[in-house]
């Protein structure tokens, strides 16, 4: 059975509330002293910043934390992303795409908030690439 318009609106409202929950009480907020790698990114168009700390053990994400500030979308997105990547191996981290972030958010992101939504992923991608290049 196809979802009705009311179902879709209800689902989007639920996801919006989830975004606000992650913004108000972000998961994995903080820093990791002695992290395997860390990286900081800034969204120059709005001033959002995220610093990501990743601890890798046995080729997998053992712990991940973030520090930063910004709008509800950027902060909720990175909070959800950090939940998602815990336990992932490095190959799976490298395979993450923007569609994965959009799926985590569960709502359509307009062009004005696209960079905000993807700031956490960009921070992870650049930090991981820098770490892997140092290993070579």
Q: Taking residues 60-73, what's their average pLDDT?
A: 96
CA dihedral 27, 53, 122, 76 (to 10 degrees): 10
pLDDT at 88: 98
Question: Would the CA dihedral through 118, 121, 39, 17 be positive or negative?
Answer: positive
Q: Is the pLDDT of residue 37 over 60?
A: yes
pLDDT tens for each residue of 79-95: 999 999 999 999 999 99
């Amino acid at each position: 059975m196809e979802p009705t318009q009311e179902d879709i609106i209800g689902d989007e409202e639920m996801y919006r509330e989830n975004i606000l929950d992650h913004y108000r009480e972000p998961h994995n907020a903080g820093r990791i002293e002695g992290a395997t790698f860390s990286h900081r990114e800034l969204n120059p168009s709005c001033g959002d910043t995220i610093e990501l700390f990743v601890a890798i053990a046995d080729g997998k994400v053992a712990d991940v934390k973030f520090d930063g500030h910004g709008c509800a979308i950027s902060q909720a997105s990175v909070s959800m992303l950090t939940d998602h990547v815990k336990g992932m191996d490095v190959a799976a981290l490298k395979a993450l795409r923007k569609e994965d972030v959009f799926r985590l958010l569960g709502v359509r992101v307009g062009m004005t908030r696209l960079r905000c939504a993807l700031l956490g992923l960009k921070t992870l991608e650049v930090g991981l690439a820098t770490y892997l290049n140092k290993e070579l």
